Amino acid sequence: MLSASPLPTQTSKRHKSVIAKTITILGSTGSVGCSTIDLIERNRDLYKVVALTANRNVAALAAQARKLKVELAVVADETCKADLEDALRGTGIEVAAGQSGLIEAANREAQWVMAAIVGAAGLAPTLAAVRRGAEIALANKECLVCAGDYFMQEVARHKATLLPVDSEHNAIFQVLERQHPEQIEKIILTASGGPFREKTTEFMEKATPEQAVAHPKWDMGAKISVDSATLMNKGLELIEAYHLFPVDVEQLDVVVHPESIVHSMVDYKDGSVLAQLGSPDMRIPIAYMLAWPHRMATPVPRLSLTEIGSLTFEAPDYKRFPALALAREAMRMGGVMPTILNAANEIAVEAFLNRRIGFSDIARNVEAALTTLRRDFPQNGAQSAADLAAIEEIDHLARKNAAEWVQKHAS
Ligand code: NDP
């Protein structure tokens, strides 16, 4: 009897797929990290967690490490190491700290690595996991923004597998006909529009950190929440998509979709548009990548389109949200410009969260860094970001420039 069938049999419908994986989570105490652990805890027989990392949140990290009985727990901030050792004494769990500790966690023999450290701080540890050919569930978009060409070269060289976790890129990953890139007309990223979608420029000038992080649809860490309010997040995602998918800069579009149900779309040349829909809950894209190439059950509320009633779409307003225009421009220029954009944005967001500069100053600071540093890089520094050390140097330069801007403009 022929056994190969493209359709599920009754037997395969009843049985769970075998998807056992060993796992490391870089940034386990954050929003994405905690959602990943939530899914793993519901499937403890399928996943073995090897290593976890955090920055300073010792209490949460120690609790996760004990619960999941991991081999290694790492704090990036070396001053927290003694506290972590105290919290894990008697458990047999190894403790490490600092950059070398993060790299050690990434190097542990885990098949699947969740890259969920926020910001460019995630680049070196994620690259370490790439270089041993692991499956990388990539939440940290800043890796691809600040080092896209180099990062993708390393992925190819070490035969690592990139699994996009960001909900928009995950949606595209689900509907993209990878074998036939010539059939793609456009990739359309959807944006919720953030908390200030309907606010005036005058309102945003005075907006507080509390207002900026109050995202209407997604529950996320502070940095990405502010990026969503400025729409810089969508700009970073354009650059991320440019590196992940086989399209040119001009084939990438953004459409504002406040309900956050359609998570992105691929427009094919025959006029078909394929989209992925779901409730705005990061456990859906994380689950897709955890179970990949299968699917797993999640506790996420089912989508009821009849309850939602209508889905709306509008064009982004590049005037009110200049950060999106800056990111698009940096993507077009290429070279070191996205590295500068990302570094200046990280400094500016931190300064805004610390109430040193205003909300609208974030884009001003980024624009100043791009304008000033562009002069130092003929042809946008196309040859200047050839390895990690060179990228880190440019990142450092841009941070210094942005910090000086903050110093000058702090209220
Ligand atoms: P959070 O701020 O919630 O968590 C960040 C994690 O990184 C924490 O574990 C934090 O540790 C750790 N961390 C912070 N700074 C450092 C550092 N300097 N060195 C090492 N570790 C550090 O972020 P999110 O989970 O919201 O986002 C993580 C990444 O995923 C970001 O790149 C974001 O853009 C991306 N992403 C997030 C989504 C979301 O829904 N949250 C959606 C799509 C993408 P500690 O707790 O100790 O501070």
Closest by CA to 126, choosing from 154, 149, 98, is: 154
Catalogue the E-assigned strands of 44-167.
47-54, 72-75, 94-97, 112-115, 135-138, 161-164
Nearest residue CA, atom 5 of ligand 1?
A: 30
**What's the gap in Å between 116 CA and the centre of ligand 1?**
5
Q: Which of 117, 136, 230 to mutate to test the pocket of ligand 1 (most atoms within 8 A of CB)?
A: 117
For residue 142 and ligand 1, the question of a CB distance below 6 A is answered with: yes
Nearest residue CA, atom 21 of ligand 1?
A: 55
Look up residue 10 and give its two tokens: 């009754």
pLDDT at 12: 44
Rounded to whole angstroms, how far apart are CA atoms 348 and 81?
A: 29
Position in ligand 1 atom list of the atom nearest CA 27: 9
Show the 3-state SS of 184-237.
Answer: EEEEEEEECCCCCCCCCHHHHHCCCHHHHHCCCCCCCCHHHHHHHHHCHHHHHH
Ramachandran sector of residue 260 (left: φ over 0; alpha: ψ -120 to 50; beta: rest)? left
The number of C-alpha atoms within 13 Å of 13 and in the hemisphere containing its C-beta is 5
Name the pairing type of β-strands 262-268 and 184-191: antiparallel
For residue 116 and ligand 1, the question of a CB distance below 6 A is answered with: yes
Residue the block writes with tokens 């359309």: 188
**What's the gap in Å between 30 CA and the centre of ligand 1?**
5
Position in ligand 1 atom list of the atom nearest CA 233: 34
**What's the gap in Å between 118 CA and the centre of ligand 1?**
4
Nearest residue CA, atom 41 of ligand 1?
A: 220
**What's the gap in Å between 58 CA and the centre of ligand 1?**
15
Q: Which residues pair with 136 in a beta bridge?
A: 113, 162
pLDDT at 381: 81
Position in ligand 1 atom list of the atom nearest CA 58: 47
For residue 140 and ligand 1, the question of a CB distance below 6 A is answered with: yes
Q: What do you get for the CA distance between the two ends of the chain, in Å? A: 77
Query: pTM of the prediction?
Result: 0.94
Position in ligand 1 atom list of the atom nearest CA 224: 34
Q: What is the pLDDT along the chain (411 residues), one digit of tens a residue?
A: 333 333 444 444 444 545 489 999 999 999 999 999 999 999 999 999 999 999 999 999 999 999 999 999 999 999 999 999 999 999 999 999 999 999 999 999 999 999 999 999 999 999 999 999 999 999 999 999 999 999 999 999 999 999 999 999 999 999 998 889 999 999 999 999 999 999 999 999 999 999 999 988 888 999 999 999 999 999 999 999 999 999 999 999 999 999 999 999 999 999 999 999 999 999 999 999 999 999 999 999 999 999 999 999 999 999 999 999 999 999 999 999 999 999 999 999 999 999 999 999 999 999 999 999 999 888 888 777 888 999 999 999 999 999 999 999 998
Position in ligand 1 atom list of the atom nearest CA 55: 47
For residue 54 and ligand 1, the question of a CB distance below 6 A is answered with: yes
* Bond into 293 cis (ω within 30): yes
**What's the gap in Å between 26 CA and the centre of ligand 1?**
9
Q: Which residues of 159-178 are buried (b: 16+ CB within 10 A; e: fewer)?
A: ebebbbbbbbbbbbbbbbee
Closest by CA to 87, choosing from 100, 99, 97, 102, is: 97
Closest by CA to 264, choosing from 371, 149, 187, 363, is: 187
**What's the gap in Å between 49 CA and the centre of ligand 1?**
18
Position in ligand 1 atom list of the atom nearest CA 225: 26
Q: Which of 25, 26, 52, 55 to mutate to test the pocket of ligand 1 (most atoms within 8 A of CB)?
A: 55
Using the 8-state DSSP alphabet, how is residue 259 labeled?
Answer: T
Whether 238 contacts 252, CB under 8 Å: yes
**What's the gap in Å between 29 CA and the centre of ligand 1?**
8
pLDDT at 14: 42
Closest by CA to 118, choosing from 141, 137, 102, is: 141
**What's the gap in Å between 31 CA and the centre of ligand 1?**
7
Question: Using CA of residue 381, residue 120, residue 243, residue 52, what is the dihedral sign?
Answer: positive
